[in-house]
């Protein structure tokens, strides 16, 4: 038997399985499957679920498992302890990006974005608390977002020395419009769940105590539909922005190069030192 039964985490009261088969035990995520729904929950609460390379690797494993499990029709992406995700873990960010356990900068965010888009099943972001930076891009890329009334959304890249000029720019602009997307990235403000809903970034806002049940309801509604119809609708929606894959590769490559600069280092260092960054000397015309 590949799975271990636990009763605790079902959205709907059914049996939950924590996946443990043929892979190292997950450290950074909690992966559960129940009632046709796979749930990937980021679990690094001491950094508000910021991710490191291992977190992304584990999420990729979980998404691939859900992809090939015919019993699964919907994936829910969420975070533990009342936050969704705050992007890359600035505490392990080195000169060339986010270091893995061997000290090599290697964050497979590009593959994760592609996997969330490509998996032929809807992915629902269930957002409580912060969805910030690279953690904001994750919810943007998900098919649907259901938020609690205490969720907070926003980008931080230009403040902390990073950016996502791939789907984090283009697809965000498709959702909220060009002006609003530019505002979100240029100002790095934070937005309430209601504001996010009003700009089309969130499908539904519910009181925090109803977040699980509302998400389960949406899952049940999707699971009752034709999986083939849903799968091709997802492909059809994706087709409009599939041309962004090359752009995404270039944009993420640019981010990796940017990480090696003094300018990007100033952003990261300022965050870690809890002070405002000083970027003035880096203003120049290319």
Residues at the site binding ligand S0N, with contacts judged by CB under 6 A: 47-48, 50, 86-91, 97-98, 107, 109, 130, 132-134, 156-157, 160, 162, 164, 168, 252, 255, 271
**Which is nearer to ligand S0N, 16 or 107 (by Cβ)?**
107
CB of 164 to ligand S0N, least distance (A): 3
**Which is nearer to ligand S0N, 189 or 262 (by Cβ)?**
189
**Which is nearer to ligand S0N, 61 or 89 (by Cβ)?**
89
Q: How far apart are CA 27 and CA 24, in angstroms?
A: 9
Residues 27-34: contacts with CB within 8 Å, 24+ apart?
A: 27/54, 27/58, 28/52, 28/54, 28/55, 28/58, 29/55, 29/58, 29/59, 29/62, 30/80, 31/58, 31/62, 31/65, 32/6, 33/3, 33/66, 33/69, 33/71, 33/72, 34/9, 34/10
CB of 21 to ligand S0N, least distance (A): 28
CB atoms inside a 10 Å sphere around CB 1: 6
Task: Report whether 236 contacts 101 (CB < 8 A).
Answer: no
CB of 225 to ligand S0N, least distance (A): 32
Radius of gyration, alpha carbons of the chain: 18
**Which is nearer to ligand S0N, 41 or 255 (by Cβ)?**
255
Q: What is the DSSP string of 113-147?
A: HHHHHHSSS-EEEEE-SEEETHHHHHHHHSSEEEE
CB of 167 to ligand S0N, least distance (A): 9
**Which is nearer to ligand S0N, 58 or 214 (by Cβ)?**
58
β 74-79/123-127 pair status: parallel
CB atoms inside a 10 Å sphere around CB 71: 12
Task: Report whether 83 contacts 41 (CB < 8 A).
Answer: no
CB of 262 to ligand S0N, least distance (A): 17
Q: How far apart are CA 236 and CA 241, in angstroms?
A: 10
Task: Report whether 68 contacts 45 (CB < 8 A).
Answer: no
**Which is nearer to ligand S0N, 74 or 152 (by Cβ)?**
152
CB of 58 to ligand S0N, least distance (A): 15
CB of 261 to ligand S0N, least distance (A): 14
CB of 270 to ligand S0N, least distance (A): 10
**Which is nearer to ligand S0N, 26 or 191 (by Cβ)?**
191
**Which is nearer to ligand S0N, 89 or 128 (by Cβ)?**
89
């Amino acid at each position: 038997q590949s799975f271990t039964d636990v009763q605790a985490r079902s959205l709907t009261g059914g049996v939950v399985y924590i996946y443990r088969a043929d892979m190292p035990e997950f450290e950074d995520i909690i992966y559960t499957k129940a009632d046709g729904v796979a749930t990937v929950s980021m679990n690094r609460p001491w950094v508000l679920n910021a991710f490191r390379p291992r977190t992304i690797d584990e999420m990729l494993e979980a998404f691939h498992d859900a992809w090939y499990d015919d019993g699964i029709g919907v994936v829910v992406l969420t975070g533990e302890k009342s936050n969704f995700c705050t992007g890359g873990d600035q505490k392990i960010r080195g000169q060339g990006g986010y270091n893995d356990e061997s000290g090599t900068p290697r964050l497979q965010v590009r593959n994760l974005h592609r996997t969330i888009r490509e998996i032929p099943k809807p992915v629902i972001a269930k957002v409580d608390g912060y969805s910030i930076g690279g953690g904001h891009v994750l919810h943007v890329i998900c098919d649907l977002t259901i938020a609690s009334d205490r969720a907070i959304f926003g980008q931080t890249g230009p403040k902390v020395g990073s950016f996502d000029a791939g789907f984090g720019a283009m697809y965000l602009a498709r959702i909220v419009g060009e002006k609003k997307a530019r505002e979100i990235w240029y100002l790095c403000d934070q937005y309430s769940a209601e504001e996010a809903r009003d700009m089309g970034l969130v499908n539904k806002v519910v009181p925090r105590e109803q977040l699980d049940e509302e998400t389960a309801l949406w899952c049940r509604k999707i699971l009752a539909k034709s999986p083939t119809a849903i799968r091709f609708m997802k492909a059809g929606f994706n087709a409009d922005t599939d041309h962004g894959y090359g752009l995404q590769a270039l944009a993420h490559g640019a981010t990796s190069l940017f990480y090696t600069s003094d300018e990007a280092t100033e952003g990261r260092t300022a965050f870690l030192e809890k002070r405002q960054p000083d970027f003035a000397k880096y203003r120049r015309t290319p």
